[in-house]
Structure 1
């Protein structure tokens, strides 16, 4: 049965088993070769690249707009109506405090960079989310690709794994491939790793198809390909055969299956991350990066606290805090932190003053983000908001600057151009600057 999926273009108007499922490979003939063709081109592409510091990126998105005052930028000396319901705690960075519900992240603050001076002009969820996922303001004339899709386009796949994965699903329409081919869209798990029976769809052979039948189907496809090649010799058909060969390698890859196998992680580590949605998503993200995925995007919690901010933060922040800290510690123990860039973002912050219903409303004029690993400074706070948390005070950072810096760390020149429909060249990022102040000095 076919269905519409509002997120991933690769999933629209297709079976739930569309991507890796061997039984439907023939039905994917129009999209899978395109996907593999683009990945093959990306693997040999050098324009727009330079030496990378980060080999993979984990983007932790906090949807709804987390209050910077209740997370990375508390205002303990502001009047009560601005300070909010919570206290502040010291961190491993001397003189820097976080919200009292970020006690775990406070203990690894000496491993991260905090930007307290992010800003943009979009107070609507959709537009703010667009900014953070693409590095561009929304345009009525063009759909911009997400950072993950650009990385997929520029760098291609590695170790038989999709270059761009969303956990557990495509979080919003701006996480997709925009004006680029849908071949560069994300692969979505289709299941949440926090579920007890978690299993990624499409990585296993269909029920009733064993290895022998899999090989037979491959042989049948090769026979059909050979027939058409005898009728029409062309580069397109020869390349199509190569793409199908790659497709079978991808489908049958033991590396891919192992990368998605969360059961291989010890129980003690699962407990360290937390047996929560945030915890298990971040644990799987680390596993995927370790396996060779280039960009993993995941969501944690819900932060649109217009009402009763106190209860919302008390519920959502502790498991998210625990998981973020566990991820940084885990990457560090494994020697992966230097080569893995972790970014924690939200679409905007919240108003400096608590409203009449005990919440905070949308506020894009200043908010906070966190970066760790991937060549970023450790134990560093960049910029500041004013005393009430309402405006940028020093060293403002724009969305294009953040995106440019992220691309720079993974080895992509953001001023290089992609081709939009109509062969119009579009810069990967328009006008952003690499934030050198955030980068660790090379030894």
Structure 2
């Protein structure tokens, strides 16, 4: 039975520095690999996923007629198109029709089908309910789900920001791992908690990047020399810490790991060859990773 949901979903959005879908996109793989975005707040009482129902007044029969007309009109430009764009649009089109004309996708996105105890376990806030939705989507057949925890740029007011954010993340991540384990699917579901970089070991005076008239209390700025990433389930050997920093958390002291090492590890867990080459838009073979060395301690 085909998946009831898109293979790649971003909850609630796929956005990076004002770009959409930004670094969540399929890039050289093509737009057909961009994520489906739920939009909205999964914790809202009237949470509704965008574009998941037929427009008012549009029946399934009328939708089928429109699809038939579209296929006929597409035949003319398709005969001269060689870049694969129509194939990508076809997949999107077929996927969209199956979503809006059936119940399976709507059921997968419906958090009201969860009992109150489970929803409470994840935390009754946007990040917690987004993470619960991710679990439902994986069970419904999604291969990849990104839950976007945004807003960590605490150049000022760091303490109040962490007091607000950390309990939410703790509840969401702990709730997910516990739930996956109890359902017997943690070993086949890889969970990754990671950002794009870290924060400076030293606190600033609260003014860097802040409004000039309201500097606020001290915060931390961007730092790319050291950071952490948490992996659990999905073939990863847990219960360990790989690598360390110096005493100030500035730079790696032992076992430095780079992003491509993390990616190679993820590929290995997913059964993807990290030495694989793919064809870019011009037909040129391109390695998926420049350095395909995985973090062997985790495997």
Q: TM-score, normalised by structure 2?
A: 0.83
Q: Deviations over 1:286-345 (max 9, x none)?
A: 111111101111122422222232111111111111111111101111111001111000
Return the offset for 1:161: 1.9
Is residue 2:109 matched to residue 1:260? yes
Q: Comparing 218-227 with 188-197, which one deviates more in the overlay?
A: 218-227
Is residue 2:265 matched to residue 1:400? no
- Correspondence for 1:170 among 14, 18, 35: 14
Q: Provide the rounded CA distance (Å) in 2 between the counterparts of 1:402 and 1:228.
A: 42
The aligned residue for residue 151 of structure 2 is 302
Question: Does the aligned pair in 2 maintain the 1:166–1:187 contact within 8 Å?
Answer: yes
Q: Comparing 177-186 with 163-172, which one deviates more in the overlay?
A: 177-186
Return the offset for 1:226: 7.6
Which aligned pairs between 1:20-419 and structure 2 lie closer than 5 A? 158-172=2-16, 173-209=22-58, 213-219=59-65, 221-222=67-68, 248-357=97-206, 358-419=218-279
Return the offset for 1:247: 5.5
Compute the RMSD of aligned alpha carbons. Answer: 2.6
Return the offset for 1:246: 6.4
Report the 3-state secondary structure (helix = DSSP H, G, I; strand = E; otherwise coil) of the residue aligned with 2:27: coil
Return the offset for 1:252: 2.3
Instruction: Decide whether aligned partners of structure 1 residues 438 and 283 sit closer, same or farther in structure 2, where only a CA change above 3 A counts.
Output: same
Instruction: Decide whether aligned partners of structure 1 residues 284 and 220 sit closer, same or farther in structure 2, where only a CA change above 3 A counts.
Output: closer
Question: Does the aligned pair in 2 maintain the 1:366–1:390 contact within 8 Å?
Answer: yes
Instruction: Decide whether aligned partners of structure 1 residues 190 and 245 sit closer, same or farther in structure 2, where only a CA change above 3 A counts.
Output: closer
Q: Deviations over 1:350-382 (max 9, x none)?
A: 222222332222211111110111011121111
Q: Provide the rounded CA distance (Å) in 1 between the counterparts of 2:180 and 2:286.
A: 35
Q: Provide the rounded CA distance (Å) in 1 between the counterparts of 2:74 and 2:39.
A: 36
Q: Comparing 306-315 with 367-376, which one deviates more in the overlay?
A: 306-315
Q: TM-score, normalised by structure 1?
A: 0.57
Return the offset for 1:259: 1.1
Question: Does the aligned pair in 2 maintain the 1:346–1:369 contact within 8 Å?
Answer: yes
Q: Deviations over 1:387-411 (max 9, x none)?
A: 1111101111100000111112112
Report the 3-state secondary structure (helix = DSSP H, G, I; strand = E; otherwise coil) of the residue aligned with 1:368: coil
Q: Provide the rounded CA distance (Å) in 1 between the counterparts of 2:262 and 2:221.
A: 24
Report the 3-state secondary structure (helix = DSSP H, G, I; strand = E; otherwise coil) of the residue aligned with 2:191: strand
| Structure 2 residues not aligned, in runs of 5+ | 17-21, 207-217
Instruction: Decide whether aligned partners of structure 1 residues 284 and 227 sit closer, same or farther in structure 2, where only a CA change above 3 A counts.
Output: closer
Number of residues paired by the alignment? Answer: 273
Q: Provide the rounded CA distance (Å) in 1 between the counterparts of 2:96 and 2:169.
A: 37
Instruction: Decide whether aligned partners of structure 1 residues 225 and 356 sit closer, same or farther in structure 2, where only a CA change above 3 A counts.
Output: closer
Q: Provide the rounded CA distance (Å) in 1 between the counterparts of 2:232 and 2:290.
A: 24
Instruction: Decide whether aligned partners of structure 1 residues 395 and 207 sit closer, same or farther in structure 2, where only a CA change above 3 A counts.
Output: same
Higher relative contact order structure (alpha carbons within 8 Å, sequence separation ≥ 6): 1
Return the offset for 1:223: 7.1
